[in-house]
């Protein structure tokens, strides 16, 4: 971890690129997109659970 901090401290261009990438990522994470992702995960878990507990899976 220390080396990563040193690398960032020594490289202003890298800091700028990483900062911009972080800003873009945050701006793309709206509540709507978070909910869509969360509901998709719930559906995956529910489907896997149903498959694991169905009589045909035994």
Q: Residue range 28-33: average pLDDT?
A: 93
Residue 58 confidence (pLDDT) = 56
Euclidean distance between CA atoms 49 and 19, whole angstroms: 40
Query: What is the pLDDT confidence band of residue 54, given thresholds at 50, 70 and 90?
Result: confident
Residue 57 confidence (pLDDT) = 59
Asked which of 9-13, 16-20, 26-30, 33-37 is least confident by mean pLDDT, the reply is: 26-30
Euclidean distance between CA atoms 28 and 53, whole angstroms: 37
Q: Residue range 30-52: average pLDDT?
A: 95
Mean pLDDT of the chain: 93
Domain residue limits, the chain: 2-57
DSSP, res 54: S
Are 15 and 8 contacting, i.e. CB atoms less than 8 angstroms apart? Answer: yes
């Amino acid at each position: 971890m220390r080396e990563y901090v040193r690398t960032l401290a020594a490289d202003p261009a890298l800091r700028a690129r990483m900062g911009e990438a972080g800003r873009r990522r945050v701006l793309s994470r709206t509540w709507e997109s978070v909910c869509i992702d969360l509901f998709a995960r719930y559906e995956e878990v529910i489907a896997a659970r149903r498959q694991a507990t169905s009589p045909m899976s035994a």
